[in-house]
Amino acid sequence: MIKKKKGFFGRLVEGLSKTRNNIMGGVEQVLKGFTSINDEFYEELEEALIIADLGVDTSLKIIEEIKTKVKQQKIKDTDQVRMLLKEEIVDIMSTPQDAYDFIDKKSVVLVIGVNGVGKTTTIGKLAHQFKQSGKKVIMAAGDTFRAAAIDQLEEWANRAKVEIIAQQENSDPGAVVFDAIKAAQSRNADLLICDTAGRLHNKKNLMEELRKITKIVNKEYPEANKEVLLVLDSTTGQNALLQAKQFKDIAEISGIVLTKLDGTAKGGIAIAIGSELNIPVKYIGVGEGIEDLQKFSAQEFANALFDE
Which of the listed residues 52, 76, 93 is the one where a domain comes to its end? 93
Residue 202 is predicted with a pLDDT of 67
Mean pLDDT of 28-44: 94
CATH number of the domain encompassing residue 53 = 1.20.120.140
Write the CA distances from 234 to 131, 142, 205, 271, integer angstroms: 26, 24, 25, 11
Backbone angles phi, psi at 110, to 5 degrees: -90, 125
Whether residue 150 is contained in a domain is answered as: yes
Residue 8 is predicted with a pLDDT of 80
Helix then strand then coil, in percent of the chain rounded to 5, is 55, 15, 30
Residue range 122-165, pLDDT digits in tens: 999 999 999 999 999 999 999 998 878 999 999 999 999 999 99
Same-domain pairing of 26 and 159: no
Same-domain pairing of 284 and 188: yes
Same-domain pairing of 82 and 146: no
How far, in Å, CA of 205 to CA of 187, rounded?
A: 32
Residue 308 is predicted with a pLDDT of 67
Same-domain pairing of 138 and 196: yes
How far, in Å, CA of 54 to CA of 78, rounded?
A: 21
Mean pLDDT of 264-284: 92
Same-domain pairing of 201 and 74: no
CATH number of the domain encompassing residue 273 = 3.40.50.300
Q: What is the mean pLDDT of the chain?
A: 92
Whether residue 1 is contained in a domain is answered as: no
Single pTM value for the model: 0.93
Same-domain pairing of 254 and 299: yes
Percent above pLDDT 90 for the chain: 73
Same-domain pairing of 210 and 168: yes
Give the Cα-Cα-Cα angle 154, 295, 143 (nearest 5 degrees): 30
Residue range 187-238, pLDDT digits in tens: 999 999 999 988 766 677 888 888 899 999 999 999 999 999 999 999 998 8
Which of the listed residues 93, 115, 147 is the one where a domain comes to its end? 93
Whether residue 269 is contained in a domain is answered as: yes
Domain that holds residue 107: 101-305
Residue 292 is predicted with a pLDDT of 87
SS3 (DSSP) at 137: strand
Whether residue 191 is contained in a domain is answered as: yes
Whether residue 4 is contained in a domain is answered as: no
Whether residue 176 is contained in a domain is answered as: yes
Same-domain pairing of 89 and 232: no
Same-domain pairing of 300 and 209: yes
Q: In what order do the strands lie in the sheet with 281-285?
A: 163-165, 137-140, 191-195, 107-112, 225-233, 255-259, 281-285, 293-295
How far, in Å, CA of 60 to CA of 54, rounded?
A: 10
Whether residue 2 is contained in a domain is answered as: no
Mean pLDDT of 284-303: 90
Same-domain pairing of 219 and 254: yes
Q: How many structural domains is the chain composed of?
A: 2
Residue range 86-98, pLDDT digits in tens: 999 999 999 999 9
Same-domain pairing of 56 and 143: no
Residue 302 is predicted with a pLDDT of 94
Residue 197 is predicted with a pLDDT of 87
